[in-house]
Amino acid sequence: MAKAKAEALAMIQQLPDNVTTGAIMEALLFKQQVEKGLQDVAEGRVLTQEELKERIAQWRKSAGR
């Protein structure tokens, strides 16, 4: 947990002095989402392009498109 806090503080310190709380939260959320995506890739939770195309086709069909 200390590592996450240190990384968050380092990232915040790199932002401009006039940064808003909302912008800080957006930056932290973006960092979290990127880390989650990288973890998913490392653990094999990915789809091929063909699998994604099939899922999109199914979603479109279920939505009546």
Give the pLDDT confidence of 25-58 residue by residue, as tens digits: 999 999 999 999 999 999 999 999 999 999 999 9
Mean pLDDT, the chain, rounded, equals 95
d(CA 11, CA 9): 5
Residue 62 sits at the vertex; the CA angle it makes with 61 and 65, to the nearest 5 degrees, is 45
Query: What are 5-30's pLDDT values in tens digits?
Result: 999 999 999 999 999 999 999 999 99
d(CA 61, CA 15): 44
Q: What's the confidence (pLDDT) of residue 12?
A: 96
Residue spans of the domains in the chain: they are 2-62
